[in-house]
Structure 1
């Protein structure tokens, strides 16, 4: 029976169709908890996405890594159920729970069948209100984190990213790994984890979306039952992160035939009126297509890398424009020069009408394909809420893309793309490159 029900849940998740038009209902529970709902009763299944703003950036300075370790332990035993009993109860319902921490958020994702909704919510509520933090579970999770920290010290990608963060943000939480250090993680106690749980999982920083076989009235009741007993307020967010990274090159010696290169400058706030224009600029420059300019120039024409991309990363307390690639030690310097040249080329010359038309076709055509399944829709709805976008964003987004002109691109590219401010972090043994001020 368990196998059959688990298979049904997987089938329902897989066969939920992509939706270009989705009807989003705002829901407020009797207790005042807000959520967005997309009701779809064709399958007896619901996906619930919960996000708590704050994440690993609210770690106390002396307890770096506590939110990360705490999140890993939320469903590792709760109430009167130890870790094994909790897992067995969840599996018997064919429910899926996932807990994850990032710099800015803690996410809780749940999927369950309609016939088991009450039992699944009772079990999830137990994890969200009475996590056990048993000694053996803490040591098991701590060991996993310490192993990851040790491994990352030998990983060139992690070395590059962590050093760039430290140079850009200094002592701000963004300037260090949310996993913490071996010393800080080793010192964390059960009391620290309990305090972190109380400071991070609260009603004042919560965002919720549900999709599937549930109506607004039932969702409101569910929200109060599941979340109504959480603490009212969370720990304060950190201050805005000051940007300290200047243009240049930093080389970290690492024995490898390849150099790992991360490059970075300040980005743009998601709330900026020009964000859609910047989004198009980045997609043309370094988006995940073989026709993107960096892919064309660095890979296709010259074969200097297998892949290269750039990303706009608007975080809660800072904005980044980040890129990365790997290249042979003998070709890294050439690849870096090409990146800077392409940055300057778009800043100086903008793009053609034809290039803009092509990227608009791609971006507007691919957008509906993102709504592939209830769980994915729920995640997108929470993302929209956290970006403070309106309820009709799904319907109006493509029109905003279409409204961008080549004049907009030219104006914003001059402001956004700053080749002189790009900093390249190179981990490897690149020929002809050394650290510059």
Structure 2
């Protein structure tokens, strides 16, 4: 059942008022939102590193580690480990993106001790049993083979290769058909030793637990990790400057288009202006691209665009699917809309509507314990203050029409990097 606007607003107020920074006796820090409404606890955590820490010739290591950590730990093989999780309805998962390695824990309050202990075991003593390693490797290779016939996967992969060239961001987190077979046990264990450490750890906890109990569990779970990670330094990088167009031939009826260019980083003063104006161009069913390309002209089956920010760079990325015969008209209209907003910026009404949406979407992001925990973790990774939820609407409201016009010119003034996958190139 959907929460009512009033209940969502109440959730936002509750979050802003009660978020606390707790530090255990062992020095483990977390942001805590204590809420006893239901006997649930949601935990989100992340370590610095992610796929950028894969060896340059063995992309895919971090993804394999993420899929293997819950496949047995300590004296528990994969089957027994999952039986323990299932018996207590504990949800435990791991993931890796470009910059971070982390995961989620969901548990009932009564099962918190066992849940946190299973997380401890997974992080500190993963088994990496040969049968599990080969099963996960086979699944990863199957996904990669599928992506070779998937136009959207091919387009986004090529886009990041062009955008970041020889930077680690150009590599695919899932690896390649050449790299994944080379990954060995030493690579997996070396990744864990180098990345999973206390110095880069960020934790967000939401639910029915008090600070004292949480501190005890934090020490039990994380205190035995290495104090210091061993990360390869990653340089900042500016995305390749547009315009540029690449075509990848693939015998499919639908042509897939990915387009984008340099964005605005989260730490920059213009970020919120860029975020708001980006919504106006491509952020939903009311966006210019959706209205002009899909609704008015019927050129595309779908279209959208978003701002993507990372620790060392930022891009805007758009996507569209269209019939092969309409690919030329689709790309032409996308480029026309991009030029127009870069030259004139948004209208005052568009800006007001977008600011209202951005503020409302923030409230929707706080509607459950899991969403709250993810939001609080992201705020930490973005180096935002602990009271940012209280300040968010003020930051959005402070975006002026001139700010939005400046951001639009910066984002789209140089045009687009465009990748098309389909039967024939666009003229």
* TM-score computed with the length of structure 1 as normaliser: 0.92
2:41–2:209 Cα contact (<8 Å) kept? yes
Instruction: Give CA-to-partner distance per residue, 1:131-172, whole Å, 9 cap, x none.
Output: 000011101101101111111111111111111111222222
In the TM superposition, residue 254 of structure 1 has moved relative to its aligned partner by: 1.0
Correspondence for 1:219 = 214
In 2, the alpha carbon distance for the partners of 1:179 and 1:41 equals 39
Correspondence for 1:302 = 297
SS in structure 2 at match of 1:63: coil
Correspondence for 2:183 = 188
SS in structure 1 at match of 2:260: strand
- Within the candidate set 342, 351, 356, 1:347 is matched to 342
Correspondence for 1:238 = 234
Instruction: Give CA-to-partner distance per residue, 1:282-301, whole Å, 9 cap, x none.
Output: 0000002x211000100110
In 2, the alpha carbon distance for the partners of 1:286 and 1:262 equals 13
Q: Is residue 38 from structure 1 mapped to residue 57 from structure 2 by the alignment?
A: no
Correspondence for 2:244 = 248
Correspondence for 1:377 = 372
In 2, the alpha carbon distance for the partners of 1:414 and 1:370 equals 29
In 2, the alpha carbon distance for the partners of 1:362 and 1:149 equals 37
In the TM superposition, residue 60 of structure 1 has moved relative to its aligned partner by: 1.4
Correspondence for 1:423 = 417
Stretch deviating more after TM superposition (62-71 or 241-250): 241-250
CA pair 431-183 structure 1, distance change in 2 beyond 3 A: closer
- 1:91-106, aligned counterparts within 5 Å? 91-106=86-101
Correspondence for 1:58 = 53
Instruction: Give CA-to-partner distance per residue, 1:268-291, whole Å, 9 cap, x none.
Output: 111111111111110000002x21
CA pair 136-432 structure 1, distance change in 2 beyond 3 A: closer
Q: Is residue 274 from structure 1 mapped to residue 270 from structure 2 by the alignment?
A: yes
1:167–1:245 Cα contact (<8 Å) kept? no
In 2, the alpha carbon distance for the partners of 1:179 and 1:366 equals 30
CA pair 329-412 structure 1, distance change in 2 beyond 3 A: same
SS in structure 1 at match of 2:373: helix
Correspondence for 1:3 = none
In 1, the alpha carbon distance for the partners of 2:80 and 2:255 equals 47
Correspondence for 1:367 = 362
Correspondence for 1:264 = 260
1:160–1:426 Cα contact (<8 Å) kept? yes
CA pair 302-151 structure 1, distance change in 2 beyond 3 A: same
In the TM superposition, residue 321 of structure 1 has moved relative to its aligned partner by: 0.9
In 2, the alpha carbon distance for the partners of 1:397 and 1:338 equals 34
In 2, the alpha carbon distance for the partners of 1:274 and 1:172 equals 24
Correspondence for 1:8 = none
Instruction: Give CA-to-partner distance per residue, 1:228-270, whole Å, 9 cap, x none.
Output: 1111222233222353354122111111222100001100111
Q: Is residue 168 from structure 1 mapped to residue 160 from structure 2 by the alignment?
A: no
Aligned residues: CA RMSD: 1.6
1:330–1:431 Cα contact (<8 Å) kept? no
* TM-score computed with the length of structure 2 as normaliser: 0.94
In 2, the alpha carbon distance for the partners of 1:417 and 1:382 equals 30
Correspondence for 1:115 = 110
In the TM superposition, residue 431 of structure 1 has moved relative to its aligned partner by: 6.2
2:91–2:107 Cα contact (<8 Å) kept? yes
In 1, the alpha carbon distance for the partners of 2:421 and 2:161 equals 15
Q: Is residue 209 from structure 1 mapped to residue 219 from structure 2 by the alignment?
A: no
In 2, the alpha carbon distance for the partners of 1:82 and 1:218 equals 29
2:261–2:411 Cα contact (<8 Å) kept? no
- Within the candidate set 13, 17, 20, 2:12 is matched to 20
Correspondence for 1:405 = 400
Q: Structure 1 unaligned segments of length 5 or more: list them.
A: 1-10
In 1, the alpha carbon distance for the partners of 2:87 and 2:233 equals 38
In 2, the alpha carbon distance for the partners of 1:389 and 1:297 equals 36
In 2, the alpha carbon distance for the partners of 1:75 and 1:279 equals 36
In the TM superposition, residue 430 of structure 1 has moved relative to its aligned partner by: 4.0
2:22–2:29 Cα contact (<8 Å) kept? yes
1:333–1:430 Cα contact (<8 Å) kept? no
In 2, the alpha carbon distance for the partners of 1:236 and 1:431 equals 39
